[in-house]
Amino acid sequence: MRKFTITFLVLILSLTTLSLNMSYEELSDDLSMIVNEEEISSELFKAQTDMINILSSVKQTNELFFQTLTNTATGLELLNSYNKRVAINFSGKVLFIQFVESKGISLGRENLKENITNQFDEIINNSGISADDVSTYLNSKGFNTKEAYLDLQYYNALYERAIQLYYQSKSSEYDISDEEIKNEYNKNQDSYVKPPQSEISIIRFEDSEEASLTYKKITEGYYNFEDVYEEKKKEENADNITIDLNVEGNQYVNIVKNNAPGYISKPQNVGENEWILIKILSKSPERKLSIDEAKNQIIFNLRDRKAKDYFDTILPKEFEKFKEESKVVLNKKLFY
């Protein structure tokens, strides 16, 4: 995920610093802006500003400042400037989404919107929350309608998807030669290692008594760990997994590091109504990978560098050109 974090930050900087081809026109009251031909609702824009929560917080903490903001020309100009900045940032996101689509990359808009809507409805239906309570909750978060909330989630998800798919598209364009692979391996051999690993068996239980009784009978020879594992496997309560022993905070690492293959742990409480037994099957030390073993990782790393260089140096220029050729119209009823 490192590459996505880097490119996301690069794009945020680009969106907030590059100029937009903006104009102000009288649009219908239900529209806040039109980005090229894409219409953005007023409710969505209001939710994006989070103005309801901002003003509510100001009113609670500093009544005088609240009155200045809402009842003086200087305060209203400050709020208007803030709204314009939000509009610039949001329209920049929409433009980047359109920019990626202009490259022939499908973002699956319809499916994404449908999935977000279905997930929201499923959560609400499963929770048993009434429609009035849902509305009250959304209003407290600055959303006057369910549609505005879903639209904001949709555009945020669409923007992140655009970044990821465009990165993947650019990265896959780069052909990596055998010579590049060899040079990278020779320069950074210490980076291409297989970490110390361990394969373990895990058996899960829903209560501590069953876990403790099973552990007791295994250690006393009445049960065989493998037989219990196979029975629990049928219930999908047993797995074999491989863990990286360099990963800090892994709930299994300390147990495995301090014991030898064949060791069976005492019951471990790892969550509500979940206890486990662990058996160490094998352990292997860290070792350097051969160039053939490391080849796929080398190719990935080299493509990642080339893609990052593109995002850092070339993309801002291409996106700036796209923005210059685009048209953003703000509803002048909302921006004075």
Q: Residue 11 — pLDDT band, cuts 50, 70, 90? A: low
Closest CA to 96 of 191, 205, 213, 13: 13
Is pLDDT at 248 greater than 90 in this prediction? no
Domains identified in the chain and CATH numbers? 12-159+330-334 (no CATH), 193-288 (3.10.50.40)
Q: What is the pLDDT of residues 98-147, one digit of tens each?
A: 999 999 999 999 999 999 999 988 888 888 888 888 888 888 777 888 89
3-state secondary structure of 307: helix
Is pLDDT at 9 greater than 90 in this prediction? no
Q: What is the pLDDT of residues 30-64, one digit of tens each?
A: 999 999 999 999 988 888 887 777 877 888 888 88
Cα maximum dimension of the chain: 84
With the CA atoms of 216, 217, 221 and 224 taken in that order, what torsion angle do they form, in degrees rounded to the nearest 10? Answer: -120
Cβ–Cβ < 8 Å for 48, 152: yes
Between strands 22-25 and 328-331, the pairing is parallel
Cβ–Cβ < 8 Å for 80, 49: no
pLDDT at 285: 92
CA of 98: how far to CAs of 38, 106, 158, 163, 323, in Å? 9, 10, 10, 11, 10
Q: Residue 288 — pLDDT band, cuts 50, 70, 90? A: very high
DSSP codes joined into one string, 149-168: HHHHHHHHHHHHHHHHHHHH
Q: Environment class of residue 48 by beta-carbon count within 10 Å: exposed (0-12), middle (13-18) or buried (19+)?
A: buried
332: which residues sit within 8 A by CB, 6+ positions away?
24, 25, 26, 27
Stated pTM of the model? 0.74
